[in-house]
């Protein structure tokens, strides 16, 4: 049995085939793998390279030689279409205080623009647009204490 | 003044460090924990643990009442504050004294005096310790401040007189840009501290941050334990510390350590403390200026312990109990080089934003000359409530190069997965040519951000490892419409780190 996967990193997609005996073919390059322990993978014919892997849903975290890769895996057969995000809602990553709001409803923003500046843990944290679009809702004002997960700004 | 039972008023790696020292010194230890830390490693590191309140620090680790009450309830006789939280809070030290508890640190009076920048500066100046030339203009109008700046000589730094933390701080390089920057600094100062008074000092461009560990006892003895170079910072927080400082020549080291001892003596300092300096220039002509006193054990104290072989926490117990310093100045020697890397749950590519989440994989490296101080375990969760420091990796070896090589080899065997950390960033930092040749200053990370942060291609081995760990798409409903974890997080773009 072999499994065929699509693995996505920030640069693009890679097609990967995994065989039951641990051989893996990545973009036509063959690599031997074996599981060495919980979350620990040995690579190469002598198993001299070690990587650590953690699974979170379809996501794989890989630690190799001090670098960390965040990868998305999908079965090639059951490939779903990527959601095309036409709507984006931005929230605080942690409890924080709003210092400044830089946009107002109706304003146009570009991906990377600063929308709101928060303060938490003695640091200023900019909330940036993750997409180009129009601001539809601003639901915070300077001085507000905001909780993670609660939308601050919505963009369409 | 002797005590047998110590309450540790802190959490994370430092609470564990102190609990270990208690055990070694034959003292009973009591940990405190908030609701968020019920299962945290530090909670089971001491002999007992007491709940002190809800998750927000203001209701637990920053609550003087809750901590003094926990000490009373457990019949603790002494309190070790660690660093951060209440460690430099004079009111807390005074509350401990009032409750009959030995505060393991300097007296409330010393903490208060050294906590005031203006008072500390005046005291140091009168003790002959060099300070950065500066002035609070008597005429606080734009014109008055401009004229005071002209007298100091550009570039100058304007700061809020009333506070710190970078608020109200502006660098003014010439007269043209001055009035706008002065107005902005004043606005920020009023907003942050309710006081628009501005203080001016000469701006030292690309300084190094070098600090001296001092230690005093209640019998009038004061020693230094050499310096720590802490120039590698981001957002005014240290990331890598080492000793000896590669920037100090022996004559400058002698002058700086002597100034630090004089500063501690002038302050009437008892217990462990740190005198921070800015260092300008190089060679025997380098000049240093007093910055501030940290009236506590520092995060980076393992660097000094690795270099000199002393146990600073154990010495803190001895001195707090009224004993003499365990060492005289000539007995304190150093050998080789030590370097500490602070491992934070943060996203270096996303403005060093703190990260919270599960530690799916967390495996500490080991080996000769390596020390890991950590407050987390695999399977645990990093919460949003507290400082994102996960661990400190300290490597000691016979030379600076060997210590850096040891730290690098260890970092490359320190997998932490499930949340973003600065481990890959630290590796690039230690591998940077200017770091290897010790050409560093406090703006090093900002100046070299591009080289330190650029993402690199994912190697085929990483892709193979990701594929080898089991079938994809089996654990999530196939109807899941958005990529996991990234959709609502504006900083989270899937990103790999090259070596």
Average pLDDT value for residue range B368-388: 95
Q: Is the pLDDT of residue B7 over 60?
A: yes
Shortest Cα–Cα distance, A13 to chain B (Å): 11
User: Would you call B281 exposed, middle or buried from its count of C-beta atoms within 10 A (0-12, 13-18, 19+)?
Assistant: middle
Average pLDDT value for residue range B142-158: 90
pLDDT interval class at B472 (50, 70, 90):
very low
Please check whether residue A114 touches B, CB under 8 A.
no
Average pLDDT value for residue range B467-492: 48
CATH of domain B134-202: 3.30.1490.20
- pTM for this one? 0.83
B408 φ/ψ sector (left φ>0, alpha ψ -120 to 50, else beta): alpha
Centre a 10 Å sphere on the Cβ of residue B244 and count the other Cβ atoms it contains.
20
Fold classified for B5-104: Rossmann fold (3.40.50)
Among this protein's residues, is B420 annotated catalytic? no
Euclidean distance between CA atoms B412 and B409, whole angstroms: 5
Q: Residue B266's closest CA among B456, B437, B127, B84?
A: B127
| Position with higher pLDDT, A110 vs B329 | B329
User: Would you call B135 exposed, middle or buried from its count of C-beta atoms within 10 A (0-12, 13-18, 19+)?
Assistant: middle
Nearest CB to B482 within list A59, A68, A83 = A83
Structural domains of chain A in order of their starting residue, each with its CATH number: 2-75 (3.30.700.30), 88-155 (2.40.50.100)
Euclidean distance between CA atoms B274 and B452, whole angstroms: 30
Q: Residue B247's closest CA among B398, B443, B400?
A: B400
User: Would you call A113 exposed, middle or buried from its count of C-beta atoms within 10 A (0-12, 13-18, 19+)?
Assistant: middle
Euclidean distance between CA atoms A9 and B203, whole angstroms: 44
Per-chain mean pLDDT for chain A:
86
CB A118 within 8 A of CB A125: yes
Give per-residue pLDDT as tens, B230-244: 999 998 899 999 999
Please check whether residue A91 touches B, CB under 8 A.
yes
Euclidean distance between CA atoms B193 and B160, whole angstroms: 8
Given an 8 Å threshold on Cβ–Cβ distance, is A8 in contact with B494?
Answer: yes
CATH of domain B208-453: 3.30.470.20
Give per-residue pLDDT as tens, A57-76: 889 999 999 999 999 999 88
Q: Is the pLDDT of residue A132 over 90?
A: no
Chain B contacts of A92, Cβ < 8 Å?
none
Give per-residue pLDDT as tens, B244-276: 999 999 999 999 999 999 999 999 999 999 999
Q: What is the dihedral of CA B84, B88, B94, B97, to 10 degrees?
A: 70
| Position with higher pLDDT, B497 vs B173 | B173
Least confident range of B125-134, B206-215, B227-236, B477-486: B477-486
Q: Is the pLDDT of residue A85 over 50?
A: no
Nearest CB to A55 within list B385, B469, B480 = B469
Average pLDDT value for residue range B8-37: 98
Q: What are the CA-CA distances from residue B489 to residues A122, A124, B390, B424 (Å)?
A: 20, 16, 22, 21
Indicate the domain borders of chain B: 5-104, 134-202, 208-453
Cβ neighbours of residue A8 under 8 Å, at least 6 residues apart?
A: A14, A71, A72, A73, A74, B494
Nearest CB to B465 within list A8, A33, A122 = A33
């Amino acid at each position: 049995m072999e499994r065929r996967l699509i693995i996505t990193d920030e640069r693009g997609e890679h097609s990967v085939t995994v065989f039951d005996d641990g051989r893996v073919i990545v973009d036509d390059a063959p690599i031997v793998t074996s599981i060495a322990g919980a979350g620990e993978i040995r690579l190469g014919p002598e198993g001299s390279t070690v990587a650590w892997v953690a699974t979170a849903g379809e996501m794989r975290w890989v630690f190799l030689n001090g670098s960390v890769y965040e990868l998305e895996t999908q079965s090639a057969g059951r490939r779903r279409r990527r959601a095309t995000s036409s709507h984006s809602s931005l929230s605080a990553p942690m409890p924080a205080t709003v210092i400044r709001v830089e946009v107002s409803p109706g304003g146009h923003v570009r991906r990377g623009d600063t929308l709101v500046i928060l303060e938490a843990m003695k640091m200023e944290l900019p909330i940036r647009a993750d997409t180009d679009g129009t601001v539809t809702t601003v639901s915070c004002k300077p001085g507000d204490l905001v909780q993670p997960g609660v939308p601050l700004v919505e963009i369409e | 003044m002797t005590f047998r039972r110590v309450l540790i008023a802190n959490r994370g790696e430092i609470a564990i460090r102190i609990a270990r020292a208690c055990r070694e010194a034959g003292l009973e230890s009591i940990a405190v924990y908030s609701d968020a830390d019920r299962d945290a490693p530090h909670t089971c590191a001491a002999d007992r643990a007491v709940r002190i309140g809800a998750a927000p620090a203001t209701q637990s680790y920053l609550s003087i009442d809750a901590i003094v009450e926990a000490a009373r309830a457990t019949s603790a006789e002494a309190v070790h504050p660690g660093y951060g939280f209440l460690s430099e809070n004079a009111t807390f030290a005074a509350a401990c004294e009032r409750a009959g508890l030995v505060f393991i640190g300097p007296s409330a009076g010393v903490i208060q005096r050294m906590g005031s920048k203006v008072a500390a500066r005046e005291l140091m100046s009168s003790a002959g310790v060099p300070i950065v030339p500066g002035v609070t203009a008597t005429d606080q109008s734009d014109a008055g401040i401009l004229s005071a700046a002209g007298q100091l000589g550009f570039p100058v730094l304007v700061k809020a007189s009333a506070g710190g933390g970078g608020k109200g701080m502006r660098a003014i390089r010439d007269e043209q840009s001055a009035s706008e920057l002065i107005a902005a600094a004043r606005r920020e100062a009023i907003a942050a501290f309710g006081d628009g008074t501005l203080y001016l000092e000469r701006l030292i461009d690309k300084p190094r941050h070098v600090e001296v560990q001092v230690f005093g006892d209640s019998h009038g003895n004061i020693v230094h334990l050499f310096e720590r170079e802490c120039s590698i910072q981001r957002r005014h927080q240290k990331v890598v510390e080492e000793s000896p400082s590669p920037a100090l020549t022996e004559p400058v080291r002698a002058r700086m350590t002597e100034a630090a001892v004089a500063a501690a003596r002038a302050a009437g300092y008892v217990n462990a403390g740190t005198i921070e300096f800015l260092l300008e220039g190089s060679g025997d002509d380098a000049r240093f200026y007093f910055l501030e006193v940290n009236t506590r054990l520092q995060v980076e104290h393992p660097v000094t312990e690795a270099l000199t072989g002393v146990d600073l926490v154990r010495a803190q117990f001895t001195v707090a109990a009224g004993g003499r310093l365990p060492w005289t100045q000539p007995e304190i020697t150093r050998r080789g080089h030590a370097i500490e890397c602070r491992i934070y749950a943060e996203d270096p590519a996303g403005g060093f934003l703190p990260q919270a989440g599960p530690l799916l994989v967390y495996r500490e490296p080991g080996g000769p000359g390596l020390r890991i101080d950590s407050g987390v375990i695999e399977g645990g969760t990093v919460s949003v409530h507290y400082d994102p420091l996960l661990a400190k990796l300290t490597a000691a070896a016979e030379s600076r190069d060997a210590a850096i090589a040891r730290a690098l080899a260890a970092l490359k065997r320190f997998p932490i997965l499930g949340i973003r950390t600065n481990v890959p960033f630290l590796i690039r930092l230690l591998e940077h040519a200017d770091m290897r040749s010790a050409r560093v200053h406090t703006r090093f990370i900002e100046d070299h951000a591009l080289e330190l942060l650029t993402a690199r291609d994912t190697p085929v081995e990483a892709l193979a490892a990701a594929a080898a760990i089991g079938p994809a798409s089996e654990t999530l409903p196939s109807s899941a419409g958005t990529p996991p974890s990234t959709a609502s997080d504006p900083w989270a773009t899937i990103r790999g780190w090259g070596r």
